[in-house]
Amino acid sequence: MPIIAPSLLSADFSNLRHEMNDVSSAPWLHLDVMDGHFVPNISFGMPVIKALRPYSEAKFDVHLMIEPVDPYLEATAKAGADHITVHCEGNPHLYRSLQTIKALGCKAGVAICPATPPEALSQVMDIVDIILVMSVNPGFGGQSFLEGQLPKISVLSKMILQSGRPVILGVDGGIDEQTAPRVVEAGATLLVAGSSIFGKADRKAAIEGLVNVSCRS
């Protein structure tokens, strides 16, 4: 059964605490931090994450789309992140970033953009806890799933198997009841979903729906 991580980016920003509670049936909450530099959009930052932290029991899964990233890792952990995911692109010292995240007591994730080959992660397989395949160009919610990312999910799934480590394989972007079973079949164990959950009136049913279609795959 895949882990479902609703992405708060698609929530009603005027009512974040309520929106967060509305997806409390999911074990993780995905929080997208964007800087308008690494990605062409600005979302929210550590003060918002810190303000929400006391009102949720979910694992805070923070996806940093910022460059540089290292100067903000400590602040992200202090704001209440349980997992910190950084991008492999634009970071010559990715290994150090992952070491720093672990030293801060968080699970260490690496996100990989659509144009980056899976082999870019071959030298971090001994340290990474979460791999996040971007199935859209990062920066915005509500985009269409990029079919070309399916083979990459399979390759990374095999790399994880070879590593012998319990690495979680996530997919982020365009995940709905049509695409979820396909990415799970390719090896995904974590589904990040924004608009397909927050775009529905009944969020609990939307989360259950994603789990159900994935289990049938």
Q: Which of 62, 63, 131, 152 binds Zn ion (CB under 5 A)?
A: 63
In the complex, minimum distance from the CB of residue 126 to ligand DX5, in angstroms, rounded to a whole number: 25
Q: Which of 143, 154, 163, 212 binds ligand DX5 (CB under 6 A)?
A: 143
Q: Does 25 bind ligand DX5 (CB under 6 A)?
A: no
Q: Which is nearer to Zn ion, 170 or 181 (CB)?
A: 170
- Choose the binding region for ligand DX5 from 45-53, 96-104, 161-169, 192-200 (rule: CB under 6 A): 192-200
Q: Does 131 bind ligand DX5 (CB under 6 A)?
A: no
CB-CB contact of 8 with 34 (8 Å)? no
Q: Does 32 bind Zn ion (CB under 5 A)?
A: yes
From 35, 61, 172, 176, the catalytic residue? 172
Q: What is the dihedral of CA 143, 144, 149, 151, to 10 degrees?
A: 160
Q: Does 35 bind ligand DX5 (CB under 6 A)?
A: no
What is the CA angle 160-163-168, rounded to 5? 35
Q: Which is nearer to Zn ion, 56 or 163 (CB)?
A: 56
In the complex, minimum distance from the CB of residue 51 to Zn ion, in angstroms, rounded to a whole number: 19
Q: Is 70 a catalytic residue?
A: no
Helical segments of the chain, H only: 16-21, 46-52, 73-79, 94-103, 150-163, 180-185, 195-198, 203-215
CB-CB contact of 98 with 124 (8 Å)? yes
Q: Which is nearer to ligand DX5, 40 or 47 (CB)?
A: 40
Closest residue to ligand DX5, judged by C-beta, is: 194
Q: Does 6 bind ligand DX5 (CB under 6 A)?
A: no
Give me the amino acid identity at 139: G
Q: Does 172 bind ligand DX5 (CB under 6 A)?
A: yes
Take residue 63 and report the two structure tokens written for it: 């996806």
Question: Which of Zn ion, ligand DX5, none does 141 bind, CB closer than 5 to 8 A by kind?
Answer: ligand DX5
DSSP string, 127-178: T-SEEEEESS-TT-SSPPP-GGGHHHHHHHHHHHHHHTS--EEEEESS-STT
3-state SS class at 126? coil
3-state SS class at 93? coil
List contacts with ligand DX5 (CB under 6 A): 7, 9-10, 30, 32, 63, 136, 138-139, 141-143, 172-175, 192-196
